[in-house]
Amino acid sequence: MTRKKKEAQLSALMEQIREHFNGVILVAEQGKPLLYEAVGFAELSQGQEPVRTLTTESMFELASVSKPITALGIIRLHQAGLLELDDPVSRWLPELPYPGITIRHLLTHTSGLPDYIALFSEKWNPAQIAVNADVLNMLAAHRPAPLFAPQDSWMYSNTGYIMLAILIERISGQPYADFLSEQIFQPLGMARTCIYNRRLDPGAVPSDYAWGYVYRLEHGGYVLPDAVPAMNYVHYLDGLQGDGMVNSTAMDLLRLDRALYDDKFIQPQLREAMFTPVTLHNGETFDYGFGWLIEQHPQLGRAVSHSGGWPGYATFLKRYIERDLTIILLQNGERDYNYTQQLLRSVEQALADEPMEVPQAAAPRTLFPLAAEDYEPFLGEYLFQDEQGQSLSAEVFIEHSQLCMRLGNGMTFVLLPISPTRFYEQQTATELEFGEIEASKSSRLIWYEHDSDSVAQRVR
């Protein structure tokens, strides 16, 4: 397919999604943009009116798209001869109370380290903003059980990438932000990229900054996550770096994409290792390398990617390394995760010269009037179990006159009524339903997720 045809298809797609999209999208071939547009607001008034619109140079918090950049910092240290990938982490972090973990385990999410977010939700003073040293100190003080022995399994680990940021500082002798700036951002001309913890350091806001908003039915539109009590973790976890908190622009991420093809910046054998699936002790592989998910797209070939999600931001970077195609998606006002996934599929269809399906926005939901006493049949503890026998508890309770659900991993969600027994969870854009109500108690909870349904039985 010709370049002009790709540009025309992507332009047509953009026109059809414009009213449902808020962010910057950049699609490139061999580093040259096929589509590069900014749509929507960068800042809203308290009355939810746009104060400033996005531009293609707007700076977004990347959330977990920071992880490939943290991993790249470790690779730069390795190239400089300052570490080996199979070095024990204990060499630099002797206070970490989990033996046998190597740097490679941290990079590939095979360390088995417990989730710091769950630990902090239970043990941390939410009035205080945590920094990376606090994560290490909390693990040392409370010693939550590891999830598994190193390289026995794979589990996405934000904790592991906090540890990588601490390693960067201890090995380089520089703050994480300064090291990335010196080793990556400055050499690649990423002048609009930095580490920015806006609540920890409420100084000057970067120019053309995209404030991240969440859509909340109970607020009647978009608000900053700081205004949502259930999202208080955006405040007390704001000082952490490594698993998130890189802020950047679409064009700077394209500069990073170009550098990853450059043998002078990344040695070819290291690049290949970055994009090789990890092998577990039992011989199974998982399609994750050093900060990158790996896949084989049926039409576009080998691809590496990472997505990011944090209240107010939804980000995505995907590189089709056999075809030299790049998709960069930065949003600061996402309403529907499923819609974003449809949009990404549509872009891929356009690039692969396949019939393009236009994303369909979900029908707007409206709140059903329920009082706190109407929630009584639903309160209690439920247990989800998957086919592999893995279980996850869910406590349903009332807080601030709202129905809430706290999972066993510490994550808490507000459940908004859309019928007498069915509820909408805005953070995941999913619905839940309580069923089999007898003697004023529901005995099961169904979670209608995007690709499957999960059923939990009441246990208390």
**Residues with a known catalytic role:** 64
d(CA 39, CA 21): 7
Ordered DSSP codes for 372-383: GGGGGGG-EEEE
Q: Classify the C-alpha dihedral 151-157-159-160 as positive or negative.
A: positive
How many Cβ atoms from other residues are within 10 Å of residue 254's Cβ?
Answer: 21
Element (H, E) at 167: helix 158-172
Start-to-end C-alpha separation, the chain: 59
Closest to 198 measured CA to CA, from 153, 244, 165, 167: 244
d(CA 191, CA 197): 17
Contacts of 391 (CB under 8 A, 6+ apart): 383, 384, 385
Neighbour-count burial of 359, counting CB atoms closer than 10 A to its CB (0-12 exposed, 13-18 middle, 19+ buried) = buried
Neighbour-count burial of 347, counting CB atoms closer than 10 A to its CB (0-12 exposed, 13-18 middle, 19+ buried) = buried
Cβ pair 65, 358 in contact under 8 A: no
Contacts of 388 (CB under 8 A, 6+ apart): none
Chain position carrying tokens 């992880």: 67
d(CA 242, CA 162): 5
Distances (CA, A) of 437 to 55, 306, 376, 377, 445: 51, 42, 11, 7, 10
